[in-house]
Amino acid sequence: MLSGYWHLPVPLLPYIELAAMLTSVPFVIATAYRLYQFPFMDAFIREVIAGSILLVGFVASVLVLTNRFGVIACTVILAYCKAPLTRWVERTFLGYEEPVEAQEERIGNAIRALTRLDEFGARVSEILATELEADWVEINSAPRSDAAHRFEIPGSDLSLSIGPRAAGRQYMSRQLRLARTAALQLAAHHHQLMQHEMRELTARAQMRTLQAQINPHFLFNTLNVLANLIHSNPSKAERVTEE
């Protein structure tokens, strides 16, 4: 690309040529993501762009720094920059405004906020449809045949069916990870709600059994009192009977 200027004394010309050739790679990948949106393309873009930036930083540090200690220190700094740099790539190139961990936590909090088993399916479907940008999400005993993705909810006979994504887009690895995590969270909370409902049913059954045992004793005691009042105070016995 720049070889026509080989006769000019350009410092570090081979590295400049390499950098010029590599600059097109992130843009080609970003274009492929926008146009085709293959699953796991977002993870590929994130790692390639972040890795390219870190590689350029490492090469620059090797060329600029003259002592070994400086290169080692720069390498350690670049290693710590990996996470924030990856987050910046997600926000800038992929449009994800928050980390996937924060979105998983928000979905988990919304699921754990449900306290009734009868609202479990409808409310969770609404939550996941919003978070995954899906046309529809359903939780049924049998997965829907027209679902784009299906996930089994462990420990139950339920399945999580996810319909097509809004605007005809494809699901990326981020959305698939959120769906898998949500299925595990649903399994745990569904088990808790089932246990809670069983405890309530058991408590009500025990209360009915106790009432059935207590009521005959009250009736027997009342009859004894009436029998005594009939002999001692007939008018009072009549009032008690009317009450």
Query: Do 58 and 122 belong to one domain?
Result: no
pLDDT confidence band for 8 (50 / 70 / 90): very low
Residues 227 and 156 in one domain: no
The structural domain count of the chain equals: 3
- Where among 68, 94, 120 does a domain terminate? 94
CA distance 14 to 64: 15
- Does 81 share its domain with 114? no
Between CA 79 and CA 117 the distance in angstroms is 46
Provide the 8-state DSSP code for 138: E
- Cβ distance 135 to 163 under 8 Å? yes
* pLDDT at 30 exceeding the cut of 80: no
Averaged pLDDT, 134-160 = 88
The residues, ordered by sequence, that sit 6+ positions from 71 with a Cβ below 8 Å of its Cβ are 61, 62, 65
Cβ–Cβ under 8 Å, residues 55 and 39: no
Residues 137 and 157 reside in one and the same domain: yes
Q: Residue 164 and residue 94: Cα distance in Å, rounded? A: 20
pLDDT digits (tens, 9 = 90+) for 68-120: 888 788 888 888 888 899 899 988 888 888 999 999 999 999 998 888 877 77
Q: Where in the sequence is the domain holding 75, given as residue range(s)?
A: 3-94
